[in-house]
């Protein structure tokens, strides 16, 4: 199991890399830093947006945690799955992971992913329009 030792929001005083999307967290941007323990203690830094997406992937059941937590590959897989299933199944020329990530983020601010039990007792995911779009609260402070 991954144990959460601490979680806090910080304002970046230099450029960091997001452990979920591998994109940059720019200087001055608020980001989340978690201290985790899984065999050893390590830090996990993430964009506030990527943290929101990771929470959605957990909550919806799109990501199943077998005790190791969500690593970068899991995150990427979920982003691609939501993109291909709900945002745009067509291959787009010039599309990059970061551009698909942005589309998935915009989509999940407006919609949530819900697990649906089908008539044949299978499981499927569906997108449900939110009553209120998500607006992330940025925690202020140093
Ligand atoms: Zn990120």
Residue 115 lies in a domain: yes
Q: How far apart are CA 117 and CA 124, in angstroms?
A: 6
Give the total number of structural domains in the chain: 1
Residue 135 lies in a domain: no
Residue 44 lies in a domain: yes
Distance 4 CA to ligand 1 centre (A): 19
Q: What is the pTM of this model?
A: 0.90
Tens of pLDDT, residue by residue over 48-67, are 999 999 999 999 999 998 88
Q: Which two tokens stand for residue 105?
A: 């983020």
Distance 50 CA to ligand 1 centre (A): 5
Composition of the chain by helix, strand, coil, percent to 5: 30, 30, 40
Q: Which two tokens stand for residue 123?
A: 């499981």
- Please check the confidence at residue 142 and state whether its pLDDT lies above 60: no
Distance 140 CA to ligand 1 centre (A): 19
Distance 46 CA to ligand 1 centre (A): 5
Which range marks the domain in which residue 88 is found? 3-129
Tens of pLDDT, residue by residue over 11-41, are 999 999 999 999 999 999 999 999 999 889 9
pLDDT: which is higher, 101 or 89: 101
Residue 95 lies in a domain: yes
Residue 137 lies in a domain: no
141 pLDDT tier (thresholds 50, 70, 90): very low
What's the chain's average pLDDT?
91
- Please check the confidence at residue 116 and state whether its pLDDT lies above 50: yes
């Amino acid at each position: 199991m991954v144990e959460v030792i601490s979680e806090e929001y910080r304002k970046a005083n230099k450029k960091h890399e997001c452990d979920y999307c591998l994109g940059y967290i720019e200087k001055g941007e608020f980001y989340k830093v978690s201290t985790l323990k899984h065999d050893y203690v390590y830090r996990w830094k993430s964009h506030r947006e990527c943290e929101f997406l990771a929470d959605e992937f957990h909550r919806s059941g799109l990501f199943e945690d077998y005790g190791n937590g969500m690593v970068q590959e899991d995150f990427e897989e979920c982003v691609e799955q939501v993109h291909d299933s709900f945002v745009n199944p067509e291959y787009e020329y010039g599309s990059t992971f970061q551009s698909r990530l942005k589309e998935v983020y915009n989509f999940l601010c407006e919609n949530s992913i819900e697990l649906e039990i089908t008539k044949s007792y299978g499981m499927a995911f569906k997108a449900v329009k939110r009553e209120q779009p998500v607006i992330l609260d940025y925690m202020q402070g140093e």
